[in-house]
Structure 1
Amino acid sequence: MAVVVWIVEGTWPACVDAARAHVPEGADVVLLHVTPADVPGAAHGAFAGLLGRGHPERDPGTRVEQLAAASAGQLLTDAAQRLGRECTRTERTGRIEREVVAAAEGAELLILARDGDRTHLGPRSLGPASRFIVDHAPCPVLLVWPETAPGIATIPTPPPHPPHPPHHR
């Protein structure tokens, strides 16, 4: 069994705990972190546009890339320690939602956490990337709450519907 666990700052402990609880021993667990490609690129572009290309050693995009890699590495290390068993750590860079879906190809389970409005039950509890991943995942998805789920009283009220016309026979 191959399982991908999406590791994201702030919600990763719940995902790792779900893997510990629901993934059998002996399964191949992949801890996945994706760094968005646009953040270092934006810093590179801003530097080149504002200050020219004459001093590449002062380009902040390089430092942003280094910080992102260090942060991803530390998150994956912390997640592996919490998991407490053999796993593969994978770092990707690109469009987050597409990289997660691509990493889940061939997996038997993808674990991710809700990352939107977590004060209410409902579709807004998923951010845009998570919504894309849930909608496009090529495998079953285990969607977890990073903290205790809100009560069912938080379900949004249904929209008003016009009355149905009477049925004629």
Structure 2
Amino acid sequence: MSVLVWITEGTWQAAVDAARAHVGADAEITLLYVGGSDIPGAAHGAYAGLLGRGRRERDPGTRLEHLAAASGEQLLAAAAARLGRRCTAVVRTGRVEHEVVAAAERADLLVVARDGDRHHLGPRSLGPATRFVVDHAPCPVLLVWPEAAPDLTSLPPAPHHPRTPPPHHRP
């Protein structure tokens, strides 16, 4: 069995703990971190467009790319240590949700932690990228709460529909 565990800031511990608890010892586990390209790309564009043509070594986008990669490597190292078993670590860069779905193409299971509203049950408990991944993953998804799930009182009330009388039939 091939298991992909999506590692993100703020929720990676829950995803790793779920993999540790629910995945057999013989599974091949891959820890995935995806660094978004939007912030470094904006910095590259700002430097080129607003500041004119400067020296490449002064481009702040390059520094942001290096910082993101280093952060990803640190998260993956911490995740591997917490997992406590042999695994592969992968860093990808690009549009996060698309990269996760593409990486899940060869997986038998994708482990994802909720990253939205943690105080209420429901669809808002998923951030936009996580919602996309859950909706488009080409494999089964194990979706976990980063902490204890909210109780059932957090469910929204049922919508109120006024009772409509049945249509009148004329003889």
TM-score normalized with structure 1 length: 0.95
**Matched ranges for 1:80-159 at <5 A:** 80-159=80-159
Counterpart residue identity of residue 129, structure 2: A
**Matched ranges for 1:67-86 at <5 A:** 67-86=67-86
* Identity percentage of aligned residues: 70
> Once the 2 structures are TM-superposed, how far is the Cα of residue 165 of structure 1 from its aligned partner?
4.2
CA distance, structure 1, for counterparts of residue 141 and residue 98 of structure 2: 15
CA distance, structure 1, for counterparts of residue 164 and residue 103 of structure 2: 46
CA distance, structure 1, for counterparts of residue 161 and residue 40 of structure 2: 48
> Once the 2 structures are TM-superposed, how far is the Cα of residue 160 of structure 1 from its aligned partner?
1.9
Q: What count of residue pairs does the alignment treat as equivalent?
A: 169
The range that moved more, 27-36 or 157-166, is 157-166
- Which secondary structure state, in structure 1, belongs to the residue aligned with residue 105 of structure 2? coil
Match of residue 21 from structure 1: 21
CA distance, structure 1, for counterparts of residue 7 and residue 69 of structure 2: 14
- Which secondary structure state, in structure 1, belongs to the residue aligned with residue 106 of structure 2? coil
Counterpart residue identity of residue 111, structure 1: V
CA distance, structure 1, for counterparts of residue 25 and residue 59 of structure 2: 46
Match of residue 8 from structure 1: 8
Match of residue 55 from structure 2: 55
- The structure with more radius of gyration: 2
> Once the 2 structures are TM-superposed, how far is the Cα of residue 167 of structure 1 from its aligned partner?
8.5
Unaligned 5+ segments in structure 2 are none
> Once the 2 structures are TM-superposed, how far is the Cα of residue 62 of structure 1 from its aligned partner?
0.9
Counterpart residue identity of residue 11, structure 2: T
> Once the 2 structures are TM-superposed, how far is the Cα of residue 40 of structure 1 from its aligned partner?
0.8
Runs of 4 or more above 3 Å deviation: 164-168
Q: 1:1-49, CA deviations, whole angstroms, 9 ceiling, x for partnerless residues? A: 0000000001000000000000000100010000111111111111111
- Which secondary structure state, in structure 2, belongs to the residue aligned with residue 69 of structure 1? helix
**Pairwise CA RMSD of aligned residues?**
1.5
Counterpart residue identity of residue 43, structure 1: A
> Once the 2 structures are TM-superposed, how far is the Cα of residue 164 of structure 1 from its aligned partner?
4.9
Unaligned 5+ segments in structure 1 are none
Counterpart residue identity of residue 21, structure 2: A
Q: 1:34-72, CA deviations, whole angstroms, 9 ceiling, x for partnerless residues? A: 011111111111111111112222110111011001000
CA gap 1:135/1:165 in 2 versus in 1, 3 angstroms? farther
Counterpart residue identity of residue 123, structure 2: P
